[in-house]
């Protein structure tokens, strides 16, 4: 019968356990962070696809509330969350949308601010409101609705 030295066996088991624990700790922490990092990167990449509208650098797309069709002349609703307060974002869009050839139709600063712009064959309507869901102190939800401009409607003739 073979004799096993308990001290040697215990030390070997301890070394194996600590090695596995140390290696798994590195892998686990990387894997735990990975899905969140990948999601955030995808959200920022997705927002960069909307080149015809200015979007704050820290904004993130809310994929659950977004439905967009097309690429360059896209239409639909784009839901974004940003870490700035609504009044800062209101000023951001009023300043930067004209730089993207958007012409203001109307603007209302309120607890839920509304901005409307037109450009070529599309109309952009934005609603900016305060949120504490993602950013606990000063965040905003921005709902952008892009629709085609109605070319069929004309003003009635004043001659009657």
Question: Same domain for 123 and 69?
Answer: yes
- Report, in this order, helix, strand and coil percent for the chain, each rounded to 5: 40, 30, 30
For residues 42-68, give the mean pLDDT: 80
Map residue 38 onto helix, strand or coil.
helix
**What pLDDT shows up at residue 22?**
56
CATH number for position 79: 3.30.310
159 within a domain of the structure (yes/no): no
Residues shown for the chain: 160
Q: What whole-number distance in Å separates Cα of residue 41 and Cα of residue 18?
A: 34
For residues 41-57, give the mean pLDDT: 70
DSSP code for 53: S
Question: Same domain for 87 and 136?
Answer: yes
120 within a domain of the structure (yes/no): yes
- Per residue in 85-119, pLDDT tens? 999 999 999 999 999 999 999 999 999 999 999 99
Among 2-6, 47-51, 81-85, the least confident range: 2-6
Question: If pLDDT is split at 50, 70 and 90, which confidence band does 126 have?
Answer: very high
96 within a domain of the structure (yes/no): yes
Question: Same domain for 35 and 21?
Answer: yes
Question: Same domain for 83 and 19?
Answer: no
**What pLDDT shows up at residue 50?**
80
Nearest C-alpha neighbor of 87 from the set 113, 105, 107, 62 = 113
Q: What whole-number distance in Å separates Cα of residue 51 and Cα of residue 60?
A: 15
Q: Is the pLDDT of residue 149 over 50?
A: yes
Question: Same domain for 57 and 76?
Answer: yes
**What pLDDT shows up at residue 86?**
94
160 within a domain of the structure (yes/no): no
- Per residue in 11-26, pLDDT tens? 666 676 556 555 555 5
DSSP code for 80: E
103 within a domain of the structure (yes/no): yes
Question: Same domain for 25 and 59?
Answer: no
Question: Same domain for 59 and 41?
Answer: no
Q: Which long-range contacts (CB under 8 A, 24 or more apart) does 24-31 make?
A: none
87 within a domain of the structure (yes/no): yes
Domain of 62, in residue numbers: 52-148
Q: Which residue has the higher pLDDT, 70 or 14?
A: 70
Question: If pLDDT is split at 50, 70 and 90, which confidence band does 10 have?
Answer: low
Question: Same domain for 73 and 31?
Answer: no
Rg over CA atoms, the chain: 27
Q: Is the pLDDT of residue 35 over 80?
A: no
Question: Same domain for 7 and 60?
Answer: no
For residues 24-34, give the mean pLDDT: 44
Question: Same domain for 15 and 85?
Answer: no
153 within a domain of the structure (yes/no): no
Its sign, for the CA torsion 77, 80, 84, 86, is: positive
CB 39 within 8 Å of CB 54: no
């Amino acid at each position: 019968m073979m004799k096993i030295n308990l001290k040697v066996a215990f030390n070997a088991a301890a070394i194996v356990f600590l090695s596995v624990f140390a290696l798994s700790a590195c892998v686990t922490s990387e894997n735990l962070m990975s899905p969140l990092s990948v999601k955030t990167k995808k959200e920022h990449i997705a927002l960069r696809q909307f080149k015809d509208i200015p979007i704050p650098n820290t904004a993130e797309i809310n994929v659950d509330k977004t439905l967009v069709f097309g690429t360059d002349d896209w239409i639909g609703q784009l839901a974004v969350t940003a870490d700035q307060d609504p009044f800062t974002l209101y000023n951001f869009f009023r300043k930067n949308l004209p730089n993207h050839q958007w012409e203001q139709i109307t603007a209302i600063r309120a607890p839920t601010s509304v901005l409307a712009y037109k450009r070529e064959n599309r109309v952009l309507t934005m609603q900016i409101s305060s949120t504490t869901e993602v950013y606990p102190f000063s965040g905003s939800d921005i709902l952008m609705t892009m629709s085609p401009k109605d070319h069929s409607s004309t003003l009635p003739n004043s001659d009657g």
